[in-house]
Chains A and B, each alone.
Chain A
Amino acid sequence: MKGLKTFKMGGVHPPGKKYLSENKPIKNAVISNLSVVALSQQLGSPSECIVKPGDEVREGMLIGKSTGFISANIHSPVPGTVKEISDIYLANGMTSRAVVIEMEGEFDRLGKEESKTSWDNLSSKELIEIIDSSGIVGLGGATFPANVKFSLPKGKKAEYLVINGVECEPYLTADHHLMIEKSDQIIEGIKIIASIIKPEKLAIGIEANKPDAIEVMKEAALRADLSLDVVGLEVKYPQGDEKQLLKAITNREVPSGALPIEIGCVVSNVGTVHAIYEAVVLGKPLIERVVTVSGGAIKNPQNLKVRIGTPISSLIEECGGFTEKPVKVVVGGPMMGFTIYDLDTPVTKGTSGVLALTSKEVKGAAQTACISCGRCIAACPMGLNPTTLFKYIDHTDYDSAESIGLMDCKECGSCGYVCLARIPLVQGMRLGKGMLRAKKVKA
């Protein structure tokens, strides 16, 4: 393919491994008898639990209420009875309150015909309210509440709406299949967002390893008579990060510490766009998402449509279990995902993948001292110096780390991926950022 765009600074090329699941159509996963719905699924404050043990809930009923500016509503994925409210560990190692629901009774939506409602006459405000009440967050992994993102700050105008169909994380094919199978719905979702933020230009970025998705989206845009620029991108990680994506498509750089709206851009993931379509057109809250279950230790990798709250063990079982003992089970992509030790950890809104990786894929080695090879610097898409940052953080000199740009680090993992000395660079960055934030809260 000619004329592919990409970002210039840094980036890495981990083995894609998408072939494991890229030919598997999205399949509805078996619904688990027990759903564990965490109340901290979004970036921001946890939702407030509005049910108690013994309560009966219906499919799609509100069970957790948004609390404050950056938070989100949470709905019951299944009909049933609230068994208990407990504390659980999420995949990222944080603890969260969770509503445990035992499935029981009749589904209101599942297996029924979906009725479409027209949204042509709805105002921006009304549409944002629907998105808010449907509990939609960014499904690319950041889980930033969508209603907050689309409520543009006063005085800011969106020139570009850029849809993120990059899916640069290896293994993951969920967004890929969503684009192939739900292109018309995604196009309508883009129209909905466009009617909220009124951008001048629309674009969608898709990496060249998904030529079928590029074609399908072009055709769908043509069918819907939408002037959408379908941009083919060179395969390079972390192109799915909004800053790199905007650099690739618009050649603008989001200033350090600012949001994309600063340069007149709003970015939304294709999964999120599809969820917005379902919320606005079908009146369906966010209670399920597509999850890629893959990895060298999974017998039959698949793309599954999964109810939020489903235990990961049930997904692995549905994919035929393990062919060999995995070294790690990862929630999310291999570059930014989290390892879990308890396979009963539930799926949340941000779960894009479940990967069971073998030692061959992980490529572990002993940690040594830094040998100053400079690979981390060449790999960093933000132009940072990870090895020096790590040294400052290791010596608890967080202020010096901040002065050379620690807060610009988004933990994409490019530095840690290439590190010859196997230094846990990203872990260091996370620690340093946490210490700086804690210091600011105190001050």
Chain B
Amino acid sequence: MSDNLNLLIESSPQIKQSGSTASVMWAVTICLLPAGIWGVWVFGIRVLGVLFASIIAAVIAEAAMAYLVKKNTIQDGSAVLTGLLIGFNMPPSVPYYIPVVASVFAIVIVKWTFGGLGGNFMNPALAGRVFVFFSWTGPMTKWTMPAVLTRIDAVTTASPLGAVKSGLLEYTGSADGPARFLSEAGYPHSVMDTGITSWLNSNFGFSLSDGYVDMFVGNIPGSIGEVSVLLLLLGSIYLFIRKIITWEIPVSYIAVFGLLIWIFGGTRFSDGSYFNGDVLFHLFTGGLFLGALYMATDMVTSPLTSKGMLIYGAGAGLLTFLIRIYGSFPEGVSLAIILMNIFVPMIDQYTKPKRFGIETKKVVK
């Protein structure tokens, strides 16, 4: 009876939960696509070339390293995801060689010098982005106005956060927050934005200034994949359902960051008071949602336990706040996350789960 059955001999457990490393990587990649397509839509078809350049460079780098160690690691999907995230973090007008260098640096130096997937202590995509940011700061901070706002291709501008940061240096005006500040400075808004904002203000008694709808939908200058908060959130719903990302990191990150902005973020504006910061403005700009939902939650470089994840997310929120409000860079998300990556082994050390039957033993003795 056993003939020709070729039964598999394996250690228990004999059944597995569905899902694998590859399925996780591909799921994240697919959930990022809507935000990527939005980037192509608002910044022009050239952006597609940037995304492809970073993905192809990442995959070739991965293939070369895998060939050297005689493993097949392409199908785990992590190189495609790293490449895509690097593309997402590029300004639309970036020269093609920059994402290529970022991808190769991410895969070869950040990931494979530590043994490939699972060995790296820092998020490869973010480390690659930060590497090229400091190497080519000029092209990495040149932003493009979305097509809907200009109807002309490739108008370069400052990002909302960058404009606020540099504008506030010598500001003595009366704007009560960054959104009004930008409107005052002549920052454009789409027709949809002004329409929805006035509808919200008249029907719900809000007093929103123009610009928030554009920020939420993604009609603002910024990195290719970071601008559409709406689509990043929608994509993450599936990842939450599949438990590929859990609530701890995004919630603690956004909560701590938002709280600190609310307390201290308003002090640079007209009345200079505390508890007056513009939380929505800071949440919707500077790639915070891309970072909190998709980058800080990278399994390899985040803590193991849920307590550890809360500490890590809170730390990233604090650092983002410090860099953005008091540092010399306008955004801060990338740096905050890779700095927190460095703390992960220490966080893991202090957030070990309590072992079963250990306390009782002490009592008995």
B-binding residues in A (CB < 8 A): 9, 12, 14-15, 170, 243, 247, 252-258, 262-263, 313, 316-317, 325-330, 334-344, 355, 357, 361-366, 368-374, 377-378, 380-385, 387, 405, 408, 411, 413-414, 416-422, 424, 426-427, 430
Contact = CB atoms under 8 A, between A and B. Distances in A.
Interface in B316-365: 352-361, 364
A116 B315 CA distance: 71
Contacts of A313: 1-2
Interface centre among A170, A243, A365, A426 (most CB of B within 10 A): A365
B202 interface: no
Contact of A316 (B1, B18, B76): B1
Nearest to A418: B17
B13 A417 contact: yes
B11 interface: yes
Interface centre among B17, B76, B352 (most CB of A within 10 A): B17
Contacts, number: 189
Given A255-B357, A256-B361, A369 B16 contact: no
A255 B303 CA distance: 28
A14 B18 CA distance: 10
A316 B300 CA distance: 44
A355 B20 CA distance: 24
A362 B15 contact: yes
B118 interface: yes
Contacts of A361: 15
Nearest to A263: B360
Interface string B6-43: 01111111111111111110000000000000000000
B5 interface: yes
Interface SS of chain A: loop
A371 B300 contact: yes
Contacts of A243: 356-357
A239 to B, nearest CB: 13
Nearest to B117: A369
B305 interface: yes
Nearest to A255: B361
A368 B357 contact: no
Contacts of A15: 15
B304 interface: yes
Interface string B298-312: 011111111001000
A81 B354 CA distance: 56
Given A255-B360, A361-B15, A363-B16, A340 B7 contact: yes
Contact of B7 (A327, A366, A373, A385): A327
Interface in B145-188: none
A344 B75 CA distance: 39
B2 A342 contact: yes
B16 A416 contact: yes
Contacts of B354: 9, 383
Q: Top 8 closest A-B pairs, CB basis?
A: A413-B13, A427-B11, A369-B118, A374-B304, A365-B20, A255-B361, A383-B355, A368-B21
A405 B1 contact: no
A272 B66 CA distance: 54
B355 A256 contact: yes
Given A255-B357, A417-B15, A326 B22 contact: no
A365 B16 contact: yes
A443 to B, nearest CB: 23
A328 B7 contact: yes
Contacts of A408: 355-357
A411 B306 contact: no
Interface centre among B12, B300, B302, B306 (most CB of A within 10 A): B12
Given A339-B14, A362-B15, A420-B24, A374 B303 contact: yes
A336 B14 CA distance: 7
B15 A258 contact: no
Given A257-B361, A313-B1, 11 more contacts: A9-B354, A243-B356, A334-B15, A343-B1, A365-B22, A368-B117, A372-B304, A374-B303, A374-B304, A385-B353, A420-B19
B119 interface: yes
B116 interface: yes
Interface centre among B2, B14, B300, B304 (most CB of A within 10 A): B14
B145 to A, nearest CB: 39
Contact of A14 (B7, B15, B21, B117): B15
Contacts of B19: 420
Contacts of A405: 355
A430 B12 CA distance: 10
A334 to B, nearest CB: 4
A374 B353 contact: no
A7 B34 CA distance: 42
B353 A383 contact: yes
Interface centre among A344, A370, A380 (most CB of B within 10 A): A370
